[in-house]
Structure 1
Amino acid sequence: MPAPAIVAFLSDIGIPVRTGPVSGPTAVPGIAIADGGLVLGPAASIHDGDLLHEAGHLALLAPTQRAAAGGLLPGDLGAGFELGAICWSVAAAWHIGLDLAVVFHPDGYRGDSAWLVETYEGGTHPGLPLLEWAGLTWAPGHEPPGEQPFPAMRQWLRTTEPMDGGAR
């Protein structure tokens, strides 16, 4: 099972996590999106970083989309938000006090785990524009007086609905 600190953090910010059966296609083995939260297969071997990553996808969804989310997210909400979910999971890991090797474990990220750790720790933050667009953080140099930029978060979950009813 994932680290209790991760489950507590996700619960505290409003992403429910529960154990239950995981069936059907999933983006990450052993973790399903259901009813706007995350379901962990009881016998699954789950990487802590994968739990944060899937939570990042939920965090970027508009509130009504998040509440209804289940199964595989459609392309514009799933793969379309991939870099944002990665960047969100980095901010969450740092907030909890985890090493980025937890997020970018060797079994994921198509062999680019070490490169991603180096990239984020080096100050380049792929996906940050998506977090800023969603109102979750400020890019360095964009923060108003008195606010902190990424990796500090203004809020952990998107609160705005799309104006046109689409994915944004």
Structure 2
Amino acid sequence: MDPTVRKILAFLTQIELPFQLSYFTHDTFLPGLRLQQGVLHIDVDKLLYAGDILHEAAHIAVCEPTERHLLSDDVYKCRSNKSWMKGEEVAAIAWSVAAIQHIGLPISVVLHPDGYKGSSENLIRVFEDNELYGQPLLAAWSMIDSVEEFPNVRTWVRQVSWAEPVVV
């Protein structure tokens, strides 16, 4: 197994984010990855980019806790309340950047050139320049202490629901 994939899977195990090594006989939205009822299924033989594991894991991590079990296939089609989705996508990108830095690998592993609709370079610059991109949501959900503390994460899997009052 690729050493980068091994490090990422060790991290997911450490934070107790649900994943399962699988074998796919069909195409998936991202090669080698599939969400099924809040569990990330990974076919390492079909995986193109190790960093994509973290991005898909981030969808589980930042998801509204009461809806996490609904995450299957296309995260934009399986949710009952889609009004949060754009915010969760931005938070997922910030989460995956914090995760890759925590693991000790370059941001470009997650923000690779073939992802993010051609805006990977811009996103890398945003994070290298410490600009805000998803950090306020991570703070609102008590996943980080403050935007200034990013990329230090307090809790890797969101526990705070929108229905709960949040003190920031």
TM-score w.r.t. structure 1 length? 0.81
Aligned counterpart, 1:143:
none
Cα distance in 1 for residues equivalent to 2:83 and 2:28: 16
* Paired residues of 2:33 and 2:47 also in contact (CA < 8 A): no
1:92–1:78 CA distance, 2 compared to 1 (3 A) = same
Aligned residue for 1:3, secondary structure, equals helix
1:86 has 2:93 as partner? yes
Is there any run of 5+ residues in structure 2 with no aligned partner, and where?
77-81
Cα distance in 2 for residues equivalent to 1:47 and 1:153: 24
CA RMSD after TM alignment: 2.3
User: What are the residue-to-residue correspondences of 1:4-83 with 2, within 5 Å?
Assistant: 4-22=6-24, 26-74=28-76, 75-76=82-83, 78-83=85-90
Percent identical across equivalent pairs? Answer: 36
Distance apart, 1:102 and its partner CA: 0.4
User: What are the residue-to-residue correspondences of 1:61-140 with 2, within 5 Å?
Assistant: 61-74=63-76, 75-76=82-83, 78-137=85-144, 138-140=146-148
* Paired residues of 2:141 and 2:161 also in contact (CA < 8 A): no
Aligned residue for 2:147, secondary structure, equals coil
Equivalent residue pairs, number: 156
Cα distance in 2 for residues equivalent to 1:25 and 1:4: 23
* Paired residues of 1:59 and 1:158 also in contact (CA < 8 A): yes
* Paired residues of 1:15 and 1:36 also in contact (CA < 8 A): no
Distance apart, 1:126 and its partner CA: 0.8
Distance apart, 1:65 and its partner CA: 2.1
Distance apart, 1:22 and its partner CA: 4.2
1:159 has 2:166 as partner? no
1:107–1:24 CA distance, 2 compared to 1 (3 A) = same
Is there any run of 5+ residues in structure 1 with no aligned partner, and where?
141-148
Greater helix share, 1 or 2? 2
* Paired residues of 2:87 and 2:134 also in contact (CA < 8 A): no
